Amino acid sequence: MTPTSTDLARTATTVLFVPGDRPERFEKAAAAGADLVIIDLEDAVAHDNKVAARGNVTEWVATGHQCAVRINAADTGHFAGDVDAIAGLGATIMLAKAESPDVVQQVAEISGSGVIALIETARGILNAAAIAAVPGVVRLAVGTFDLAAQLGVDPTDHEAMAASRGALVLASAAAGLVGPLDGVTAAVDDPDRISADAGYARRMGFAGKLCIHPKQLAPTIAAFAPTEDEVAWAHRILDAVTEEEETTGGVAVVDGQMVDKPVYDRAERILQRAQ
Ligand SMILES: CC(C)(COP(=O)(O)OP(=O)(O)OC[C@H]1O[C@@H](n2cnc3c(N)ncnc32)[C@H](O)[C@@H]1OP(=O)(O)O)[C@@H](O)C(=O)NCCC(=O)NCCSC(=O)C[C@H](O)C(=O)O
Ligand SMILES: [Mg+2]
């Protein structure tokens, strides 16, 4: 069965944005190899093009394409029109500047295809656990540019953004969601920068990244894939723990290190990701 945009949003590692007023780029975005494409109606679309962009999305989804759509924030004049145009189309909604669990719940109820909560304000970070727990929220994502602007820090400064990133990782895990999506890297032509950013996000507990250019996909995929050493370690753990030990619990020693249930679970997750 073809996965829906909701299925893709739950598990995507690579998510590629394309502006809603560039319909000639939608096909390129769909063919670029991202797990999920998000058509943007928010900051990448000029004010005068907002209504036309909604029409482009409607047409694209009506021709059977799976995608998500980023809609404008709840406190903007575009929000109600975006919700009316997109809800019920079968596209997952990404809500920009998600910060109120009540608003997220309203959007989730109307959407019918799940919501990605894009958290990019201080209030959103503080409410992240409640937002992640809203039924219909399928994923959290961080908008590092808006958040850094509000906090008065550099969005590329990992240290300055660490507490906010950590809050989203914890909120996602507590709600049983897959790890959140990290924010965009502005450099379109710098694979080393993308690798470094995506590798950092992965180590922080993120399970994917928002991308803005097809060139960013390959280094992102590589950075999120488990390394050969990790895969080999995971196989050694699974091989060493017998079926009986797996069901009855208990402890083994591999490579001189204690292995118990959480270690086994981590090894299993690494092998799942490797697939
Ligand atoms: C960033 C861009 C404006 C760069 O565009 P451009 O200079 O035209 O790129 P290239 O000349 O390198 O394009 C080469 C070819 O690749 C295609 N292309 C480029 N980008 C895309 C794309 N996103 N999807 C599909 N195809 C794409 C071009 O068509 C060229 O093809 P060809 O002609 O056949 O050679 C541009 O990449 C872009 O607009 N990116 C998306 C920007 C966007 O949507 N931003 C919103 C998200 S940002 C965000 O979330 C921040 C967050 O809110 C926060 O606060 O942190
Ligand atoms: Mg933003």
Choose the residue to mutate in 213, 216, 217, 220 for probing ligand 1, maximizing ligand atoms within 8 Å of C-beta: 213
Q: To 5 degrees, how large is the angle CA 112–CA 126–CA 186?
A: 75
Q: Which atom of ligand 1 is nearest the CA belonging to 43?
A: 46
pTM of this prediction?
0.95
Residues 101 and 39 in one domain: yes
- How far is the C-alpha of 18 from the C-alpha of 10, rounded, in Å? 19
Q: How far is CA 3 from its chain centroid?
A: 16
Mark whether 91 and 125 lie in a shared domain: yes
Same domain, 219 and 256: no
Asked if 16 and 117 sit in the same domain, the reply is yes
**CATH number, residue 85:** 3.20.20.60
- Cα–Cα distance, 169 to 207 (Å, whole number): 9
Tell me the angle at which helices 50-62 and 79-86 cross, rounded to the nearest 10 degrees. 10
User: What are 203's two structure tokens?
Assistant: 């180590």
Which residues carry a binding-site annotation for substrate?
Answer: 70, 120
CA-proximal residue: ligand 1, atom 40 (nearest): 212
The single residue listed with the structure tokens 């990244």 is: 209
Q: Which ligand is nearest to the Cα of residue 147, counting in written order?
A: 1
Q: What is the pLDDT of residue 245?
A: 66
In terms of domains, do 93 and 219 share one? yes
Q: One digit per residue, pLDDT tens: the chain, 275 residues? A: 889 999 999 999 999 999 999 999 999 999 999 999 999 999 999 999 999 999 999 999 999 999 999 999 999 999 999 999 999 899 999 999 999 999 999 999 999 899 999 999 999 999 999 999 999 999 999 999 999 999 999 999 999 999 999 999 999 999 999 999 999 999 999 999 999 999 999 999 999 999 999 999 999 999 999 999 999 999 999 988 766 566 677 788 888 999 988 999 999 999 998 88
- Co-location of 80 and 161 in the same domain: yes
* Cβ atoms of residues 57 and 69 within 8 Å: yes
Same-domain pairing of 79 and 199: yes
Q: CA–CA separation, 272 vs 274, rounded Å? A: 5
**Do 154 and 233 share a structural domain?**
no
Two tokens at 172? Answer: 């996602």
Shared-domain flag, residues 22 and 104: yes
217, 236: one domain: no
Residue nearest to atom 35 of ligand 1 (CA): 28
Q: Which of 212, 216, 217, 220 to mutate to test the pocket of ligand 1 (most atoms within 8 A of CB)?
A: 212
pLDDT at position 251:
85
Tell me, yes or no, whether 66 and 127 share the same domain.
yes
Q: How many domains does the chain have?
A: 2
By the 8 A CB rule, do 75 and 52 touch?
A: no
- Token reading at 250: 């208990």
CA of 27 to the centre of ligand 2 (A): 24
Determine the atom of ligand 1 nearest the C-alpha atom of 37: 24
189 in the same domain as 58: yes
Write the CA distances from 117 to 106, 108, 120, 260, 267, integer angstroms.
Answer: 12, 10, 9, 35, 29
The pocket around ligand 1, CB under 6 angstroms, is made up of 16-19, 25, 28-29, 32, 40, 43-44, 120, 143-146, 183-184, 188, 210, 212-214
Using the 3D structure, point to which of 183, 201, 224 is the last residue of a domain: 224
Q: Which residues are annotated as a binding site?
A: 70, 120, 146
Domain that residue 235 falls in: 228-274
Residue 40 Cα: closest atom of ligand 1: 44
